[in-house]
Amino acid sequence: MSRKDAIALDRKDPFAKKRKEFSIPKGMIYLDGNSLGVLPKAAGPRVKHAVEVEWGRDLITSWNKNGWWNLPRKVGDKIAKVIGAVPGSVIVADTISVNLFKVLSAAVQKRHERKIILSDSGNFPSDLYVAQGLTQFMADGHYLKVVEPEDVLGAITEEVGVVMVTEVDYRSARRHDMKAITDKAHAKGALVVWDLAHSAGAVAGRLMEVDADFAIGCTYKYLNGGPGAPAFVFVHPRLQNEVMPALVGWWGHARPFAFSEAYAPAPGVTRFQCGTQPMLNLVALDAAMDVYKGVNMERLHGKGKKLCALFAKLAEERCGKFGISVHGEQNWDGRGSHVCLAHDEAYAVMQALISRKVVGDFRAPNLMRFGFTPLYVSYADVYDAVEHLHEVLSKKLWNKSKFKAKAAVT
Amino acid sequence: MSRKDAIALDRKDPFAKKRKEFSIPKGMIYLDGNSLGVLPKAAGPRVKHAVEVEWGRDLITSWNKNGWWNLPRKVGDKIAKVIGAVPGSVIVADTISVNLFKVLSAAVQKRHERKIILSDSGNFPSDLYVAQGLTQFMADGHYLKVVEPEDVLGAITEEVGVVMVTEVDYRSARRHDMKAITDKAHAKGALVVWDLAHSAGAVAGRLMEVDADFAIGCTYKYLNGGPGAPAFVFVHPRLQNEVMPALVGWWGHARPFAFSEAYAPAPGVTRFQCGTQPMLNLVALDAAMDVYKGVNMERLHGKGKKLCALFAKLAEERCGKFGISVHGEQNWDGRGSHVCLAHDEAYAVMQALISRKVVGDFRAPNLMRFGFTPLYVSYADVYDAVEHLHEVLSKKLWNKSKFKAKAAVT
């Protein structure tokens, strides 16, 4: 594999033209789209319009005139296409943790006699915190049971009310079998909440196909919605009118402008809305979702898998002798779109890479994490990133006092 | 009172210069700042920077480099000054309904043996919905008791665990006596949650002075943070480490980047943070709060009261004969900064006013609501608004089929 070969792959890549829709900083190889996606070119003007015209000039009339009121559902429908859902089953609102709380409380209430919320140690910690906060508050015997990722399927018993799992592990990129877990849960009478944080926009979504009950996800990673873009909630149509979150508000009311004293849930997924949404972030996400127009998610996921496999292969071949090893899932078909490399000096090596504009992130204690957003990462990026890594390691460029600082915040 | 007199009042107004810090649409008399504040001139460039430089160029490094991670606390401290709180007692996050859920769940848990959440019929309906959703989920005998606003004080008994009240009524502008209610609640062993949605930024805040337990508020009204700007939470320092919301997440963890499986609350008000915040909206709010630099809130509130009193007086004098009457609180000292006028054709009259660029809003069944943000509304605006109202009514300009449409969304 030479750089020429990588460029040849880019020439044949049907998604290569998508890269032009993003504003990638000059000279940067950005491999952290699994944390914060890069700026879509359409987002800047859209936000500017929202500030100057919608807020600045049209003010409150924008709720109707500029579609603010319906935006959570409109953008939800755009996301639905990417995650394998149907129109009317997804809304955009709040943060992923808040949305998890909503769907988890709804699911627990629906299976109230069962006391176990089942999750695994590969879940993102905040999901575990949400379940802990909820069950501690309930104080009625409900509890979170955490098993190893490979033990989830076996741990689904008739005592489990809710299975709460993240499809793609934020470190290992191990991907749960959504169909197998959902089927087993349903066979045992449990409901399933899928966290798609590290899937949505990179992995071909199959929510309806696997008959998922609930899903949540964030939109600032592979979906490129911008820093802190509001998250999404999916509720299967068969459940929407059968469940009720503990957290409700006027945006989820059947008649919000009647200002009645009694809560009456709106039909459908709308009842999972609560309060006023951050419109500047929401319009940026709206613009970002348009990049997905005409994108076949299976093919896009296919490119992501190839990028990951190539990166892992080159990294081991070129840098294995310097102590690099691929961490986590190595089945390149059944995994997410990021790769972690383990190294004893992972923090310092990552800092050295970042100083050369090869941007990934560090996860304690010894992981360098690289995300491969198939919409804008090229095969040449992958090749060049490994070359930088090789140079940093072979010349010990990381062994500098300036990279010995304490771990960064993100 | 002539227009000349109004202009003379503006000349003597120490806040007149603040108006120049806002981008008010040309020719518009904007009296809806109690719903969505106008664009502060500093917000546009600040958002542009956040999009192009912070997101577009610095990407994930912005969490440290551009201060994203600490922004909820930094902006919280700016808001603290305006609402009479101390540094470290306020964070900015999520929506007002989500924040109400957090503090209400924390307060109910703290007074778990008491079953009543007390509120009043003048509260914003969404607050009542939040309490209904929470208690319905708890299903253990806790319930929301709603009394008339004037009966709140008398209804605070030793069975009440939490008093949940909004300081300023969103229709009548009637203002609760924060000190009397808080004192009575504490005397009876109850906790108080104050909703400052229609107070913050217009009414001089006194949270520490009255020894309030919790407060929440929104930032897109008088604080001019922009559409859907994240809301705030205040927790009194004496309570911060003694209470725990049902809704928690990694932004409220003591060591968020340890990624440990067990939740451990951060000390202080930080535990009321949950997940990643919408940075484009949050930076706009950050810029908006700088308008308050050097503002004496008592004096600002004093101007608001004068604007309200003048408007009500002129409206009754000039338009009483056309069926206009002032609705709600008429004690011009003890009230919020908006005025509702009742009229049988309120919807059509408001539409006619809006078509003349005099912007207020309609509240069913017969109210026209006008907000007087003392930072940018002038005495001349008040005078002119009443003149427009007089013309619309005296010439029956509202009596047009085009204004007979169904009630608008907002």
pLDDT in tens, B150-169: 999 999 999 999 999 999 99
The pLDDT assigned to A399 comes to 80
Cα–Cα distance measured from residue B151 to residue B147, given in angstroms and rounded to the nearest whole number:
6
Say how many C-beta atoms besides its own lie within 10 A of residue B70's C-beta.
12
Residue A53 clears pLDDT 80, i.e. is over it? yes
Work out the pLDDT band at A401, boundaries 50, 70, 90.
Answer: low
Same domain? For B256 and B394 the reply is no
Distance from CA of B1 to the nearest CA of A (A): 31
B304 Cβ neighbours under 8 A, 6+ residues apart: B202, B203, B337, B372, B373, B374
Work out the pLDDT band at B400, boundaries 50, 70, 90.
Answer: low
Cis peptide, bond prior to residue A365, ω within 30 of zero: yes
Distance from CA of B266 to the nearest CA of A (A): 13
Residue A90 clears pLDDT 90, i.e. is over it? yes
Nearest residue in A to B67, CA atom: A409
What is the residue-averaged pLDDT of chain A? 96
Residue reference for tokens 């979504």: A205
Nearest to A67 by CA among A314, A279, A322, A380: A279
The pLDDT assigned to A408 comes to 45
| HEC letters along chain A | CCHHHHHHHHHHCCCHHHHHHEECCCCCEECCCCCCCCEECCHHHHHHHHHHHHHHHHHHHHHHHCCCCCHHHHHHHHHHHHHCCCCCCEEECCCHHHHHHHHHHHHHHHCCCCCEEEEECCCCHHHHHHHHHHHHHHCCCCEEEEECHHHHHHHCCCCEEEEEEECECCCCCEECCHHHHHHHHHHCCCEEEEECCCCECCECCCCCCCCCCEEEECCCCCCCCCCCCCCEEEECHHHHCCCCCCCCCHHHECCHHHCCCCCCECCHHHHHCCCCCCHHHHHHHHHHHHHHCCCCHHHHHHHHHHHHHHHHHHHHHHHHHHCCEEECCCCCCCECCEEEEECCCHHHHHHHHHHCCEECEEECCCEEEEECCCCCCCHHHHHHHHHHHHHHHHCCCCCCHHHCCCCCCC
R_g of chain B computed on alpha carbons: 22
Say how many C-beta atoms besides its own lie within 10 A of residue A259's C-beta.
15
Same domain? For B55 and B171 the reply is yes
Taking contacts as CB-CB distances below 8 angstroms, the residues of chain A near B23 are: 56
Selecting from A30, A68, A248 the residue whose C-beta is nearest the C-beta of B59 gives: A30
Residue B405 clears pLDDT 60, i.e. is over it? no
Taking contacts as CB-CB distances below 8 angstroms, the residues of chain A near B97 are: 247, 249-251, 274-275
Report whether A362 contacts A407 (CB < 8 A). Answer: yes
From chain B residues 227-266, the ones with a CB under 8 A of any chain A CB are 227-231, 244-251, 253, 257-263
A175 Cβ neighbours under 8 A, 6+ residues apart: A167, A168, A169, A199, A203, A329, A334, A335, A336
Residue B156 maps to which CATH number?
3.40.640.10
Q: Taking CB atoms and an 8 Å limit, are A47 and B280 in contact across chains?
A: yes
The two tokens of residue A64 are 């109707």
Cα–Cα distance measured from residue A90 to residue A214, given in angstroms and rounded to the nearest whole number:
10
Same domain? For A71 and A86 the reply is yes
Sheet holding A232-235, edge to edge: A90-92, A232-235, A214-217, A191-195, A160-166, A116-120, A143-147
Left (φ > 0), alpha (ψ -120 to 50) or beta: where does B373 sit? beta
Residue B220 clears pLDDT 50, i.e. is over it? yes
Print the domain residue range for A246: 46-292
Residue A289 clears pLDDT 60, i.e. is over it? yes
| Cα B81 to Cα A398, B85, B99, distances in angstroms | 45, 6, 19
Residue A80 CA to its chain's centroid (Å): 14
The pLDDT assigned to A402 comes to 63
B41 within a domain of the structure (yes/no): no
The two tokens of residue A324 are 């690099």
Residue B104 clears pLDDT 90, i.e. is over it? yes
Residue B340 maps to which CATH number?
3.90.1150.10
Q: Taking CB atoms and an 8 Å limit, are A30 and B137 in contact across chains?
A: no
Residue A46 clears pLDDT 90, i.e. is over it? yes
From chain B residues 26-45, the ones with a CB under 8 A of any chain A CB are 30, 32, 35-36, 38-39, 43-44
Q: Helix or strand or coil: residue B192?
A: strand
The fraction of chain A above a pLDDT of 70, given in percent, is 97
Report whether A236 contacts A214 (CB < 8 A). Answer: yes
The residue-averaged pLDDT of B257-261 equals: 91
Distance from CA of A122 to the nearest CA of B (A): 10
Report whether B407 contacts B35 (CB < 8 A). Answer: no
The pLDDT assigned to A394 comes to 96
- Domain boundary at A292, A310, A329, which? A292
Q: Taking CB atoms and an 8 Å limit, are B247 and A282 in contact across chains?
A: no
The two tokens of residue A111 are 């299976």
A36 within a domain of the structure (yes/no): no
B226 within a domain of the structure (yes/no): yes
Same domain? For B167 and B286 the reply is yes
pLDDT digits (tens, 9 = 90+) for A260-281: 999 999 999 999 999 999 999 9
Q: Taking CB atoms and an 8 Å limit, are B281 and A279 in contact across chains?
A: yes
> What single string gives the DSSP state of each residue in B40-83?
ETTHHHHHHHIIIIIIIIIGGGHHHHT-TTTHHHHHHHHHHHHH
The pLDDT assigned to B402 comes to 63
Distance from CA of B274 to the nearest CA of A (A): 7
Nearest to A388 by CA among A363, A361, A364, A354: A354
A268 within a domain of the structure (yes/no): yes
Between CA A351 and CA A228, with CA A359 as vertex, the angle to 5 degrees is 110
Nearest residue in A to B129, CA atom: A263
B282 within a domain of the structure (yes/no): yes
Report the catalytic residues of B: 124, 195, 220-221, 369
Same domain? For A258 and A129 the reply is yes
In the set A221, A303, A305, A318, the catalytic residue is A221
Nearest residue in A to B364, CA atom: A258
The pLDDT assigned to A216 comes to 98
Report whether A297 contacts A82 (CB < 8 A). Answer: yes
- A136 in B contact zone (CB under 8 Å): yes
pLDDT digits (tens, 9 = 90+) for B281-332: 999 999 999 999 999 999 999 999 999 999 999 999 999 999 999 999 999 9
- A54 in B contact zone (CB under 8 Å): yes
In the set A94, A127, A169, A195, the catalytic residue is A195
Residue A406 clears pLDDT 60, i.e. is over it? no
- A95 in B contact zone (CB under 8 Å): yes
Query: Known catalytic residue: A220?
Result: yes
Selecting from A54, A124, A408 the residue whose C-beta is nearest the C-beta of B64 gives: A408
The pLDDT assigned to B403 comes to 65
Cα–Cα distance measured from residue A41 to residue B194, given in angstroms and rounded to the nearest whole number:
42
Same domain? For B285 and B306 the reply is no
Nearest to B3 by CA among B309, B385, B373: B385
A38 within a domain of the structure (yes/no): no
- Domain boundary at B259, B292, B325, which? B292
Same domain? For B302 and B397 the reply is yes
Say how many C-beta atoms besides its own lie within 10 A of residue A170's C-beta.
22
Taking contacts as CB-CB distances below 8 angstroms, the residues of chain A near B226 are: 51, 55, 279-280
Nearest to A149 by CA among A335, A278, A8: A335
Beta-sheet pairing, B338-342 with B358-359:
unpaired
Taking contacts as CB-CB distances below 8 angstroms, the residues of chain A near B231 are: 275
Work out the pLDDT band at A67, boundaries 50, 70, 90.
Answer: very high
The residue-averaged pLDDT of A99-125 equals: 98
Same domain? For B390 and B254 the reply is no
Say how many C-beta atoms besides its own lie within 10 A of residue B397's C-beta.
17
Distance from CA of A1 to the nearest CA of B (A): 31
Which of A129, A135, A250 would best serve as a mutation to test chain B binding (most B beta carbons within 10 A)? Answer: A129
- Domain boundary at A236, A271, A292, which? A292
Taking contacts as CB-CB distances below 8 angstroms, the residues of chain B near A128 are: 261-263
Selecting from A23, A63, A274 the residue whose C-beta is nearest the C-beta of B410 gives: A63
Total structural domains in chain A?
A: 2
Residue B237 clears pLDDT 50, i.e. is over it? yes
The residue-averaged pLDDT of B10-15 equals: 97
Residue A25 clears pLDDT 50, i.e. is over it? yes
Same domain? For B332 and B388 the reply is yes
Cα–Cα distance measured from residue A295 to residue B374, given in angstroms and rounded to the nearest whole number:
50
B395 Cβ neighbours under 8 A, 6+ residues apart: none
- B365 in A contact zone (CB under 8 Å): no
Same domain? For B355 and B287 the reply is no
In the set A220, A292, A311, A362, the catalytic residue is A220
Q: Taking CB atoms and an 8 Å limit, are A128 and B261 in contact across chains?
A: yes
Same domain? For B268 and B301 the reply is no
Taking contacts as CB-CB distances below 8 angstroms, the residues of chain B near A260 are: 125
Size of interface A-B (CB pairs under 8 A): 286
The residue-averaged pLDDT of B31-54 equals: 98
Report whether B349 contacts B392 (CB < 8 A). Answer: yes
Same domain? For B234 and B358 the reply is no
Residue A409 clears pLDDT 60, i.e. is over it? no
Q: Taking CB atoms and an 8 Å limit, are B133 and A247 in contact across chains?
A: yes
Nearest residue in B to A134, CA atom: B246
Report whether B159 contacts B231 (CB < 8 A). Answer: no
The pLDDT assigned to B399 comes to 80
The residue-averaged pLDDT of B86-101 equals: 98
- Check residue B408 and report its DSSP letter: P
From chain A residues 270-309, the ones with a CB under 8 A of any chain B CB are 274-282, 284
The pLDDT assigned to B409 comes to 42
The pLDDT assigned to A407 comes to 47
A408 within a domain of the structure (yes/no): no
Report whether A287 contacts A298 (CB < 8 A). Answer: no
Distance from CA of B40 to the nearest CA of A (A): 9
The two tokens of residue B204 are 């001089």
Nearest residue in B to A264, CA atom: B129
B410 within a domain of the structure (yes/no): no
From chain B residues 139-178, the ones with a CB under 8 A of any chain A CB are 140, 146
The pLDDT assigned to B408 comes to 45
Residue reference for tokens 């996860």: A363
